[in-house]
């Protein structure tokens, strides 16, 4: 039994007992029509399970407690005029208040949407203006930027601060608080007479549950309107793939403005009663894993690449005898993975050696990483080199690629546990259909290639305020044109080639995927943090390479180099030589036209939300081309 510290009652806490004694719904939350209804069913069925907690348990709310606080905040928001079809802006890190605020808004029928924490005031003004929000819920760290953006947003009436509220008055001129600035505790529970049940009953499955603003690689972000029915269409198949039990553990660590975070660490927990642990600093996610031991973990390729590099470095640092034993164990496990992947029998001696390696070495590694209790682990959002996936399969972590988009609630295709086909993103998720558009080309020896189309309940309503772009992307019979070039094999497994707009066509007419070449580069050396391949209408491929901010300084120290700043390390001859070795390894895995003939080491780092990367770490190819035009032309000179 969890001891409650002595403290004053929180707004809405008096409703906890009532919420806990609500009769359990005879129907599971996945059969609800709206997210607000799903929360009520989950809180009734699992009132004492922990819903959301911080890593240190400074905050730990059960589903009954979360529902009570959600209701109290929803009534307070209603008192500010928030209702059905309104929008509410959220600019919060990964913290319990995000789940509280989002669920309070959807309970009223409003559409909450998140803003990337890296956004400048001008970008904040754009998305808030496009959404038409009159209320924003923020934390102190982003308050100044929101208030600056508010100068261009006359409709933004109220800004609610969830933390450090005592400092809010310092933001205004001459020490005065800006009009409409409120503390969370002023709003939560401030409108107790409001009939929340009646408001929730008005919300329909076709109402917008959230807006997801695209990362804006080719222009201003588009607001993807996701209805409640879209979200349920996406999460309904989860149990058929993962079979999450109540109390399953997930970690909230990705930006809430990204559909992967919303789906995996917010909507799915609400529907299936998972316990969410918040990790406010995404750079510390690897440290958080062994503190939580998640049941399901999703991460972008770079996290898996870092884990692989860290384990390999750890093995390399062992004494000779231990290192040789560990390497032999890994070699045996990798050989087994590759034979299975090729559909060939595994010799009994190799099977036995791999099994011993798992019992004596890999089981301990999984526990050390915090991945010893996972039902499944997934990777997506960018191409993942097959050798990275093979590595984790070898140590007993069945890493599975998936594919999805903002426009599909993150749902799309996914490799199933026990049926992972490395190099593909799997067959369609339950409830989805996929096919290739147009007249794809291919031969008896090559798979058909074309633009991937998807249809299913998960597909968005449309783009906010953009009817023409909605009509271009969505056909009358429900097929969404993804913009991704793909292949589909005879068993329905999909392989993503690249974005249609980003394919490289060389001067000789060779079509190539820059994303796959970049993934191969990054997996070939832990020194390579980012890579941008250049080659469209060029005689050969070149690359801009950014050193890994975590690994490069450690590598330099191990090799007697005093410099630690990336700008200095980029000028070191030994560093360039080591990167060249990595490029050579990558070139050996690439076809001749794909190979990198020259590269430039960028002096400095590329940060999410900066000139070169979107907040979700996608390359902004056009700005990169403009900013590094001189360096690019120098690689083609002569």
> pLDDT per residue over 170-212, tens digit each?
344 334 457 779 999 999 989 999 999 999 999 999 999 999 9
On whether the CB atoms of residues 541 and 517 are closer than 8 A, the answer is yes
On whether the CB atoms of residues 143 and 115 are closer than 8 A, the answer is no
Distance of alpha carbon 513 from alpha carbon 351, whole angstroms: 36
Do domains 13-203+236-299 and 504-636 share one topology? The answer is no
* Beta bridge pairs of residue 404: 412
Nearest alpha carbon to residue 377 among 416, 406, 339: 416
In the block, tokens 């100044």 appear at 144
Distance of alpha carbon 354 from alpha carbon 328, whole angstroms: 10
CA distances from 149 to 102, 163, 175, 399 (A): 21, 20, 19, 41
E strands of 280-340, at which residues?
296-299
- Max distance between CA atoms of the chain, in angstroms, equals 79
Question: Token pair for residue 184?
Answer: 């969370």
Least confident among 170-174, 494-498, 627-631: 170-174
Domain positions in the chain are 13-203+236-299, 504-636
pLDDT above 90 (res 145): yes
Distance of alpha carbon 563 from alpha carbon 570, whole angstroms: 10
Instruction: State the SS3 of 215-260.
Output: CCCCCCCCEEEEEHHHHHHHHCCHHHHCCCCCCCEEEECCCCCCHH
Indicate the SS3 state at residue 362: helix
- State the sign of the Cα–Cα–Cα–Cα dihedral 319, 323, 324, 326: positive
Phi and psi torsions of 400, nearest 5° = -130, 125
On whether the CB atoms of residues 511 and 533 are closer than 8 A, the answer is no
CATH of domain 504-636: 3.30.300.30
Query: Which 8-state DSSP code applies to residue 431?
Result: T
Task: Read off the pLDDT of each residue in 45-52 and give the average, rounded to a whole number.
Answer: 96
Least confident among 116-120, 144-148, 385-389, 442-446: 442-446
**Domain 13-203+236-299, classified CATH 3.30.1330.10, yes or no:** no
- State residue 446's pLDDT score: 55
Distance of alpha carbon 333 from alpha carbon 41, whole angstroms: 45
Q: Say which residues have a Cβ less than 8 Å from residue 415's Cβ, sequence separation at least 6.
A: 400, 401, 402, 421, 424, 425, 426
Binned at pLDDT 50, 70 and 90, residue 17 comes out as very low
Tell me whether strands 399-404 and 412-414 are parallel, antiparallel or unpaired.
antiparallel
Question: Token pair for residue 301?
Answer: 């390729």
Buried b (16+ CB within 10 A) or exposed e, 325-349: ebeebbebbbbbbbeebeeeeeeee
Integer-rounded Cα Rg, in Å, for the chain is: 25
- State residue 302's pLDDT score: 82
On whether the CB atoms of residues 613 and 606 are closer than 8 A, the answer is yes
Distance of CA 617 to the CA centre of its chain: 10
Least confident among 50-59, 454-463, 602-611: 602-611
Task: Read off the pLDDT of each residue in 427-437 and give the average, rounded to a whole number.
Answer: 93
Task: Read off the pLDDT of each residue in 462-467 and give the average, rounded to a whole number.
Answer: 94
- State residue 62's pLDDT score: 97
- Helix, strand, coil fractions of the chain, as percent rounded to 5: 40, 20, 40
Nearest alpha carbon to residue 69 among 51, 49, 86: 51
The overall average pLDDT reported for the chain is 87
On whether the CB atoms of residues 631 and 625 are closer than 8 A, the answer is no
Question: Token pair for residue 86?
Answer: 């309104």
Task: Read off the pLDDT of each residue in 427-443 and give the average, rounded to a whole number.
Answer: 77
- Other C-beta atoms closer than 10 Å to the C-beta of 468 total 8
Task: Read off the pLDDT of each residue in 130-134 and give the average, rounded to a whole number.
Answer: 96
> pLDDT per residue over 6-15, tens digit each?
334 444 444 4
Indicate the SS3 state at residue 628: coil
> pLDDT per residue over 555-593, tens digit each?
898 888 888 888 899 999 999 999 999 999 999 988 888
CA distances from 575 to 316, 365, 408, 529, 595 (A): 19, 30, 42, 13, 20
- Label residue 548 exposed, middle or buried (CB < 10 Å: 0-12, 13-18, 19+): buried
Indicate the SS3 state at residue 278: strand
Distance of alpha carbon 619 from alpha carbon 533, whole angstroms: 10
- State residue 218's pLDDT score: 58
> pLDDT per residue over 362-385, tens digit each?
999 999 999 999 999 999 877 888
Distance of alpha carbon 506 from alpha carbon 485, whole angstroms: 17
Nearest alpha carbon to residue 582 among 525, 528, 506, 630: 525
Percent of the chain with pLDDT over 90: 62
On whether the CB atoms of residues 277 and 292 are closer than 8 A, the answer is yes
Distance of alpha carbon 616 from alpha carbon 118, whole angstroms: 10
Least confident among 165-179, 260-274, 382-396, 426-440: 165-179
Distance of alpha carbon 232 from alpha carbon 38, whole angstroms: 10
- State residue 175's pLDDT score: 44
Least confident among 66-75, 165-174, 332-341, 344-353: 165-174
Distance of alpha carbon 486 from alpha carbon 497, whole angstroms: 5
- State residue 164's pLDDT score: 66
Binned at pLDDT 50, 70 and 90, residue 217 comes out as low
On whether the CB atoms of residues 129 and 153 are closer than 8 A, the answer is yes
In the block, tokens 């980012």 appear at 530
Sheet holding 541-547, edge to edge: 528-534, 541-547, 596-601
Distance of alpha carbon 104 from alpha carbon 108, whole angstroms: 7
Distance of alpha carbon 239 from alpha carbon 251, whole angstroms: 18
């Amino acid at each position: 039994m969890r001891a409650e510290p002595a403290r004053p009652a929180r707004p809405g806490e008096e409703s906890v007992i009532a919420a806990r004694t609500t009769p359990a719904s005879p129907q599971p939350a996945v059969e609800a029509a709206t997210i607000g209804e799903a929360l009520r069913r989950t809180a009734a069925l699992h009132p004492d399970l922990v819903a959301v907690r911080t890593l240190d348990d400074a905050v730990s709310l059960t589903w009954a407690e979360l529902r009570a606080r959600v209701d109290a905040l929803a009534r307070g928001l209603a008192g500010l005029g928030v209702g059905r079809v309104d929008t509410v802006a959220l600019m919060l890190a990964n913290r319990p208040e995000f789940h509280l605020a989002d669920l309070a808004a959807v309970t009223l029928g409003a559409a909450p949407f998140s803003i990337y924490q890296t956004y400048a005031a001008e970008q904040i003004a754009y998305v808030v203006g496009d959404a038409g929000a009159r209320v924003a819920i923020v934390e102190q760290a982003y308050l100044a930027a929101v208030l600056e953006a508010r100068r261009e947003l006359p409709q933004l009436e109220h800004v609610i601060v969830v933390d450090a509220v005592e400092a809010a008055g310092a933001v205004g001129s001459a020490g005065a608080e800006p009009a409409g600035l409120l503390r969370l505790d002023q709003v939560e529970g401030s409108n107790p007479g409001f009939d929340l049940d009646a408001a929730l009953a008005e919300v329909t499955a076709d109402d917008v549950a959230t807006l997801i603003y695209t990362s804006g690689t080719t222009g201003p972000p588009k607001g993807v309107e996701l209805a409640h029915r879209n979200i349920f269409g996406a999460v309904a198949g989860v149990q058929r793939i993962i079979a999450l039990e109540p109390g399953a553990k997930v970690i909230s660590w990705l930006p809430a403005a990204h559909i992967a975070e919303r789906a995996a660490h917010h909507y799915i927990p609400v529907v299936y009663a998972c316990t969410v642990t918040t990790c406010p600093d995404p750079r510390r996610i690897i440290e958080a894993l062994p503190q939580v031991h998640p049941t399901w973990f999703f991460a972008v390729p770079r996290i898996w690449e870092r884990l692989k590099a860290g384990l390999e470095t750890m093995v390399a640092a062992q004494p000779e005898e231990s290192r040789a034993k560990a390497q032999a164990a890994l070699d045996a496990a990798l050989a087994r993975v590759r034979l299975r992947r090729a559909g060939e029998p595994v010799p009994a001696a190799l099977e036995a050696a791999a099994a011993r390696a798992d019992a004596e070495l890999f089981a301990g590694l999984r526990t050390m990483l915090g991945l010893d209790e996972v039902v499944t682990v997934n990777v997506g959002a960018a191409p993942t080199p097959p050798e990275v996936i093979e590595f984790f399969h070898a140590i007993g972590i069945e890493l599975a690629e998936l594919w999805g988009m903002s426009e599909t609630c993150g749902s799309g295709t996914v490799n199933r546990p026990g049926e992972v086909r490395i190099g593909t993103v799997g067959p369609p998720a339950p409830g989805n259909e996929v096919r290739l558009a147009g007249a794809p080309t291919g031969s008896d020896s090559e798979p058909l290639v074309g633009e991937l189309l998807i249809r299913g309940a998960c597909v968005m309503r449309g783009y906010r305020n953009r009817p023409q772009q909605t009509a271009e992307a969505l056909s009358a019979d429900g097929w969404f044109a993804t913009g991704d070039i793909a292949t589909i094999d005879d068993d329905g497994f999909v392989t993503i080639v690249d974005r249609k707009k980003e394919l490289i066509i060389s001067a000789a007419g060779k079509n190539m995927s820059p994303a796959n070449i970049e993934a191969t580069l990054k997996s070939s050396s832990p020194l390579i943090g980012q890579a941008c391949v250049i080659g469209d209408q060029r005689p050969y491929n070149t690359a801009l390479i950014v050193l890994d901010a975590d690994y490069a300084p450690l590598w330099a120290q191990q090799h007697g180099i005093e410099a630690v700043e990336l700008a200095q390390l980029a000028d070191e001859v030994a560093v360039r030589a080591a990167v060249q070795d990595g490029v050579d390894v990558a070139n050996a895995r690439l076809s001749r036209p794909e190979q990198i003939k020259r590269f430039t080491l960028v002096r400095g780092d590329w940060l999410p939300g900066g000139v070169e990367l979107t907040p979700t770490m996608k390359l902004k190819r056009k700005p990169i081309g403009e900013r590094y035009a001189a360096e690019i032309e120098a690689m083609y000179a002569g």
